[in-house]
Structure 1
Amino acid sequence: MKRVITIAGWLILLVATGVGLAAVLIRTIQGLGVTNLNYIVPWGLWVAFYIYFIGLSAGSFLLSTMIYVFNFKKLEPIGRLALFSALIALIAGLNFVLLDLGHMERFWTVFVNRNMWSVLEIEIHFYVLYIIVLLTELWLLMRRDLIRCAEGSDWKAKLCGLLTFGSSDLSEQSAARDLRIVRILGVLGIPIALGVHGGTGAIFAVVKARPMWYGPLFPIIFIISALVSGAALLTFLLAFF
């Protein structure tokens, strides 16, 4: 019975993936015209998903700082999971932003056509810094595991060997050094993560045409919701996986 449920689950996942890829292909070929968005409703479901996943990412990262910055030992088992969840949620959120662009192939122009007075421009800088912090912290925490994994001869070992970037030190001193660097990155990452989701709230807060959004509390609301949703995500992952 368990095998049947597993197979059924995979089939449902494959069908859903196929439908999703077909929808993305239609969106890519036909543009935003198929979404029925207009000047009255300029933001659709993709933006809602973007906000949701960015909140999950920022919340998960901020919870990881409880371990690596504030030294909450009881939460240590979820440390790497929190950072990995933050990275995956961030990638998912940014992909939804990509889908919402009229011309997805022009995303790179934001790094060329600069406008430092734009909230969106500032937000993009936070995203770049945030990605660097997440990847560096994850690599430092997984470095020794990658070195051990690279000792084999199969394809996994070769992949791990590439991801070590030439590092081979398994000493306790190197592990302690890694944790010190992770702590520094965590301290630097706190204002960056606050800027990531608080900045998302600021995008809404400056929309004067929407009285319910327009105001200084929206960034704070987004940060608090990120902490709650990040905690909920990690609770779910620990409970079911």
Structure 2
Amino acid sequence: MKSKANLYSWMGALGILALMGFSALGYQLVNGLGVTGMNNAVSWGLYITMFMFFVGLSAGGLIVSSSATVFNIPAFKVVAKPATILSTVCIIVAGIFIMVDIGSPERLLNLLLHSQFKSPLMWDVCVITLYLSINVLYLYLMTRPKPDPKKMKIMSSVALPVAILVHSVTAWIFGLQIAREGWHSALMAPLFVASALDSGLALLIIVLVLLIKFKLFTVEKKLITSLAGLLVTCVAVDAYFVFSEVLTMYYPQEESVMLILNEMLKGSMAPFFWGEVILGFVIPLAILLFSKNRQKTGLVIFSSVLVVIGVFFKRVWLLFTSFIYPHVEGAPGITLGKYIPGEDPSVVPNFWLKHGQYAPTLVELMIVVGMIAFGTLLFIVLSRRILLASSKEAQQPKQNQSRERLTAAQ
């Protein structure tokens, strides 16, 4: 009863935060994107950061879920339902951030009326729509009274490559832009997929422990240990890709590339870059490399939280480092579209910007917190509806068997 009361308290708090977020969104819709910190120099901000982050969290969950069936891993099949629920909710939240970022909902019609299939942005819209449809259908097949193994196998075989593709296409939005030195890389897609695997898996571990705590789901402790072993492998692969990318940027010493790299290593983005390295790589690897530590749930959760934070930091430095130095040859800078009064009133006010600057406003922060709260609330509702129902169905045959034995004994 206590856990149920705590759950309702959390749901109430999440509901309030979600309501505040949607209220802030309404304010933005009325007043326009001018209420955000975005500008001509930094045209993508916190919303796109969260979009990238949640696409990765979603892809990681579905990859774990579908791999259990495709590669016939019985231990992982146990967590297929919560992993798919988590994946579905994360991709819904990612889609919400895209709609928030475009400013006006009616602009979505332009995707249908004026589609440009040469654009990676349009590729992403198509693959995310497909991905969401697969998630919903996959979850529907899982929750049938008698799931068809053949259909489940087919769906898993489709879901796995699409999950990898959805994050690859998101990466190509950045990697195919030749004008942005910090993005233009063939490693961008592998980097995104690797970080999706470790962040999605880390979030799944956290969620499983919370579901157990609130008595919504039950798994054996050794499964958490096995998932932790898989997590440390994914973190190591992600760290290798980041090291390879940084080395490739540093070694030729190209002036334009070094501007970006120095900003990452010792400039304004350094706290996020080194935060990812220390929190997302070094500490989790130092803990989870030892099998005895993987058997301690507290250490596994601690490491998983650090991995999620580290991947979020990656999204921040990856997005903003390439906005700091705009490419505007032959001009004094980028116009902000407004005058910035100078210290000397006799001097013509300055409206040129030579370096990209961005800081999220209170409206943006409220919307982001609200959408995350809404996603968390949606996950709790779906989990209570699906996982508790599945638990009751699983217990019913056991109860019937016990009754039959009792009757026979009498």
TM tier relative to shorter chain? 0.7 to 0.9
The answer on whether the counterparts of 1:197 and 1:219 sit within 8 Å (CA) in structure 2 is yes
In structure 2, the CA distance between the partners of 1:10 and 1:89, relative to structure 1 (3 Å rule), is closer
The answer on whether the counterparts of 2:58 and 2:87 sit within 8 Å (CA) in structure 1 is yes
**Alpha-carbon distance in 2 for matches of 1:9, 1:189:** 32
**Cross-structure match for 1:51:** 52
**Cross-structure match for 1:158:** none
**Cross-structure match for 1:108:** 109
Measured against aligned partners, the alpha-carbon deviations of 1:81-114 in whole angstroms (never above 9, x if no partner) come to 1111110000000000000003222213212322
1:231 maps to 2:232 = no
| SS of residue matched to 2:79 | helix
1:32: how far off?
A: 0.6
**Cross-structure match for 2:278:** none
**Cross-structure match for 2:26:** 25
1:200: how far off?
A: 0.7
In structure 2, the CA distance between the partners of 1:41 and 1:142, relative to structure 1 (3 Å rule), is same
The answer on whether the counterparts of 1:60 and 1:230 sit within 8 Å (CA) in structure 2 is yes
Equivalent position to 1:189, from 134, 159, 174: 159
- Name the amino acid aligned to 2:80: G
**Cross-structure match for 1:162:** none
1:218: how far off?
A: 0.7
**Alpha-carbon distance in 2 for matches of 1:92, 1:216:** 28
- Name the amino acid aligned to 1:211: E
**Alpha-carbon distance in 1 for matches of 2:32, 2:8:** 35
TM-score by length of 1: 0.80
**Cross-structure match for 2:131:** 130
In structure 2, the CA distance between the partners of 1:87 and 1:6, relative to structure 1 (3 Å rule), is closer
1:214: how far off?
A: 1.2
**Cross-structure match for 1:70:** 71
**Alpha-carbon distance in 2 for matches of 1:224, 1:140:** 28
- Name the amino acid aligned to 2:28: R
- Name the amino acid aligned to 1:61: L
**Alpha-carbon distance in 2 for matches of 1:6, 1:224:** 33
Measured against aligned partners, the alpha-carbon deviations of 1:130-182 in whole angstroms (never above 9, x if no partner) come to 122111111111011xxxxxxxxxxxxxxxxxxxxxxxxx5xxxx3xx22112
In structure 2, the CA distance between the partners of 1:218 and 1:71, relative to structure 1 (3 Å rule), is same
- Aligned pairs (5 A) from 1:77-96: 77-96=78-97
- Name the amino acid aligned to 1:37: M
Identity percentage over the alignment? 29
| SS of residue matched to 1:193 | helix
**Cross-structure match for 1:142:** 143
The answer on whether the counterparts of 1:205 and 1:216 sit within 8 Å (CA) in structure 2 is yes
The answer on whether the counterparts of 1:123 and 1:195 sit within 8 Å (CA) in structure 2 is no
Name structure 2 gaps, 5 residues minimum: 212-410
- Name the amino acid aligned to 1:143: R
The answer on whether the counterparts of 1:68 and 1:179 sit within 8 Å (CA) in structure 2 is no
In structure 2, the CA distance between the partners of 1:17 and 1:115, relative to structure 1 (3 Å rule), is closer
**Cross-structure match for 1:121:** 122
In structure 2, the CA distance between the partners of 1:11 and 1:115, relative to structure 1 (3 Å rule), is closer
1:73: how far off?
A: 0.3
Larger radius of gyration: 2
1:5: how far off?
A: 6.6
Give the aligned CA root-mean-square deviation in angstroms.
2.0
**Alpha-carbon distance in 2 for matches of 1:34, 1:205:** 29
Name structure 1 gaps, 5 residues minimum: 145-169
Deviates more, 1:55-64 or 1:122-131: 122-131
